[in-house]
Structure 1
Amino acid sequence: MTTVTTRAVGYPAGDLTMTGHLALPAGAGRGPAVLVGPEGMGLGDVERRRAEALAELGYVALAFDLHGGGRYLSDPGEMLARCMALLADPDRMRCVGHAALDALCAESRTDPGRVAAVGYGTGGAVALELGRAGAGLRAIGTVNGLVTGRPGEAENIRCPVWAGVGSEDPIMPPAQREAFAAEMQAAGVDWRLTVYGGALHAFHHPPVDHAAPSGVGHHPRHARRAWRDVVDLLDECLPVAR
């Protein structure tokens, strides 16, 4: 197994001090890097493990902060209120995303010309918004974060986009999926959408220690498939020299 090292990384984002989780692969040279965006609850152990799994594959990976101070919101009501406010403010999403991207690119092990962004839920929406802002990404992956942007701005996306969603997700229903597809297609983006049959919202996320809202549920088989789809996207667009 490849030796991975990790550390907390502090960085500013507007009026917040963020705390991300950086995972570094073995070696000393520069290499491709991946931003990992968390679900609306914020940076937790699941996102930390995902960053570490990507480092095992040879990527410099930064699981970024959504709420400041590395906060993880265990109260569903607080999480929903904070995320709805963030999702309604594209400029704020870009601030959060660009701050994390800058922190990742400032890492000496990162090749700043070879960076991708992968996110889940709200973190996936942030990854997409980075693309709409014209960030120089090699790939964007979003699971459950199929949020459409301001008219015409998807034309700024200059990399392939892969999206995954559960067929029974009430937060990302067919109308939302269709709007996302129409936005990507109209902008001429190289895009793909995978619908996982029978899966609810946050199907990729292991069960948490508080009661999940209606329409949210873990689907272990599709969670494994979605991870493989993310890795395949990175293998295609951001291969690691082996």
Structure 2
Amino acid sequence: MTTVTTSTDTTDTDTTDTVTTRTITYPADGLTMVSHLALPPGVGRRPAVLIGPEGPGLNDFQRRRADALAELGYVALAFDINGGRWFTDPQEMLAHTTPLLADPDRMRDIGNAALGALRAEPRTDPGRIAGIGYGTGGAILLELGRAGVDLRAIGTVNALTTGRPGEAAHIRCPVWAGVGSEDPIMPPAQREAFTAEMQAAGVDWRLAVYGGALHAFHHPPVDQTVLPGVGHHPRHAQRAWRDIVDLLTECVPVTE
């Protein structure tokens, strides 16, 4: 497990009617990661969720995922993968993420550093942590599972990555995955390889295929160039979010 040092930017603290948020920084992958922590009301320990972002990195939409889960009663950390950068140029993003996705050890280091930051939060119940991720962030969560990290659930969207042979047998929790039927980046062959890996390993797995959806269908449009095959599908985005919340409710229910 990577040793993690956490620091809180107290100048970036925001209190709303329902959640408290702050910036958490820590080292990983040779970078200073700038992640977003959201806490539910109260003082007691709560189940926690690690949230992995798409390849471009964290933006306000990504951070609001953590806030929404805090409103449901979870401690939530939307973790950084790019050292505080948000890539607007898709080619620059691919230049950063393609080598990362080819290196399971780097992905595990990034994920373990974020997990260490989440566990360092006093309100986190360390025995009740789940992970959800999108694109690159989902691949990182799957690698934590393949490394045998103790998570209660893993949920991914657009992250049907396969791992080293046999390592999926180390996954100790249910895995839910969602993908668009028209996603050219995660085509049917990739779905088949992923589900074959999960099945051979005896994982408790589910796959939801959202009809007519492209890659990154869950993310609303942003003011930047996007890759071919990427597009928002508002109805399926809402459905995928409900499916993820249902997974968390089943595997890490919020209890007083």
Q: Which residue of 2 aligns with 1:221?
A: 235
Structure 1 residues 1-242: aligned runs within 5 Å: 3-68=18-83, 70-241=84-255
1:140 maps to amino acid: I
**Retained in 1: the 8 A contact 2:47–2:129?**
yes
TM-score by length of 1: 0.98
Counterpart Cα distance in 1 of 2:174 and 2:59: 27
**Retained in 2: the 8 A contact 1:2–1:25?**
no
Counterpart Cα distance in 2 of 1:2 and 1:192: 35
C-alpha spacing 1:14/1:215, structure 2 compared with 1 (3 Å): closer
Q: SS of the residue aligned with 1:188?
A: coil
RMSD over aligned Cα atoms: 1.0
Report the alpha carbon displacement of residue 210 of structure 1 after superposing the two structures with TM. Answer: 1.0
Q: Deviations over 1:167-186 (max 9, x none)?
A: 00000000000000000000
TM-score by length of 2: 0.93
Report the alpha carbon displacement of residue 211 of structure 1 after superposing the two structures with TM. Answer: 2.3
2:51 maps to amino acid: V
1:195 maps to amino acid: V
Structure 2, unaligned runs of 5 or more: 1-15
Matched residues, percent identical? 76
Q: SS of the residue aligned with 1:146?
A: coil
Q: SS of the residue aligned with 1:8?
A: strand
Report the alpha carbon displacement of residue 14 of structure 1 after superposing the two structures with TM. Answer: 3.8
1:221 maps to amino acid: R
Counterpart Cα distance in 1 of 2:93 and 2:142: 20
Counterpart Cα distance in 1 of 2:85 and 2:111: 16
2:206 maps to amino acid: R
Counterpart Cα distance in 2 of 1:51 and 1:185: 30
